Amino acid sequence: MAAITFRGLTKRFGVTLAVDRVDLSVAHGEFVSLLGPSGCGKTTTLRLAAGFLRPDTGEVLVDGNIVSSPEAVVPPERRRMSMIFQSYALWPHRSVFENVAYGLRLRGLPRGEIWRKVLAMLAVVQMEGLADRYPGELSGGQQQRVALARALVVEPEILLLDEPLSNLDANLREELRFEIRRLHQEFGITMLYVTHDQAEAVVTSDRIAVMQAGRIAQVGRPEEIFERPRTRFVAEFIGRTNVLPGVLRELGSLDLGPLVVRAPNAPEVRVGERAALCVRPARVRLRDAAIPEARGGELPGVVERAVYVGDAMEYLVRLAGSEHRLRALTPPDQRFRAGQAVLVALDPARSVLIPDEAG
């Protein structure tokens, strides 16, 4: 195992700043995902880690030793790293066995040891019965398992993965998310994983680094990123969320214009500043406005859209007297119709108040 560290990493392509002063440390045996939209710099960061690109400023270190800087770059083949690409990058004219054995043969291992290691690794990725097949005879999921086996059989200290599941259908992606997590737990290899898929990052990672415009917007455990986003970008990118922008008139009270809602305290937001209340749709509570019941803090609204999504009902509710709309997810047996008056409850303890940089 090995630790990898980025210090002030910057990379430009012409006038485009792809990676902007990135600082990140991945500990021994840790699984960290770089998550963000297309063009945010995550793949460029991974290629800098692999040694395929030279940084303009900053350094990449492995176990405290500099392997990339503007002055020198240690070649990829000397880094004790393996990389899995989005396209699998299997040799079509070589069998499964030959693809997996390739790296071992380059290292000059004896034939018997190569045979033993390859068969053992194919068993780990559940491909032991397909050693004689060629990539063209395999499904996408099977090809990705071969790519995993080829990367792991050489016993790298660090495994880099560049959107390895993006070419697979939804069911296969879900299956291989758990497979990659299982392999990480079994081998304990330091992993740096690039994806734009939030579910992949949440399922597989010890920590997630959310990237925006070449910089890291927030780093934390999956539940921390989801439950406690620090910026509006992170809140809106990680899962669906409702964002209500306004002004913090006093502690615990956010002025939305025609409405005032309760809000949790946030040390980074001061009274008089613009802020946004972030509430996940599953945390929005609805009830029929026609049923009298004394509850404080509820907001009147009207259902504009009701959609059955299988294991839940999804509603779009316009808050009365304003243009603010909220998405709400409720159990499938809790039904409201379009046009129905409802009361909306937003629990401050299950909401997040953040500075409204978009405002």
For residue 355 the two structure tokens come to 């500075």
For residue 41 the two structure tokens come to 């710099």
Cα 29 to chain centroid, rounded:
18
For residue 264 the two structure tokens come to 């949790």
283 DSSP 8-state letter: G
**% pLDDT > 70, the chain:** 98
Tell me the C-alpha distance between 185 and 30, whole Å: 10
- Mean pLDDT calculated for residue range 90-119: 92
Predicted TM-score (pTM) of this structure:
0.86
- pLDDT(318) > 80: yes
Tell me the C-alpha distance between 299 and 243, whole Å: 16
Contact 99, 90 (CB under 8 A): yes
Tell me the C-alpha distance between 102 and 123, whole Å: 17
- pLDDT(13) > 70: yes
- pLDDT(292) > 80: no
Higher per-residue confidence, 10 vs 265: 10
Res. 259 pLDDT band, cuts 50 70 90: confident
Tell me the per-residue pLDDT of 20-42, one tens digit each, with 9 for 90 and over.
999 999 999 999 999 999 999 99
Q: What is the dihedral of CA 288, 291, 292, 297, to 10 degrees?
A: -10
Res. 359 pLDDT band, cuts 50 70 90: very low
Tell me the C-alpha distance between 289 and 273, whole Å: 33
- Mean pLDDT calculated for residue range 41-56: 96
- pLDDT(54) > 60: yes
- pLDDT(73) > 70: yes
Contact 153, 100 (CB under 8 A): yes
Tell me the per-residue pLDDT of 203-239, one tens digit each, with 9 for 90 and over.
999 999 999 999 999 999 999 999 999 999 999 898 8
Which element (helix H / strand E) includes 322? none
Give the pLDDT confidence score for residue 358 in this predicted structure.
Answer: 58
196 DSSP 8-state letter: S
Tell me the C-alpha distance between 64 and 61, whole Å: 5
Q: Which domains does the chain have, with CATH numbers?
A: 4-227 (3.40.50.300), 240-355 (2.40.50.140)
Tell me the C-alpha distance between 229 and 43, whole Å: 23
Cα 179 to chain centroid, rounded:
17
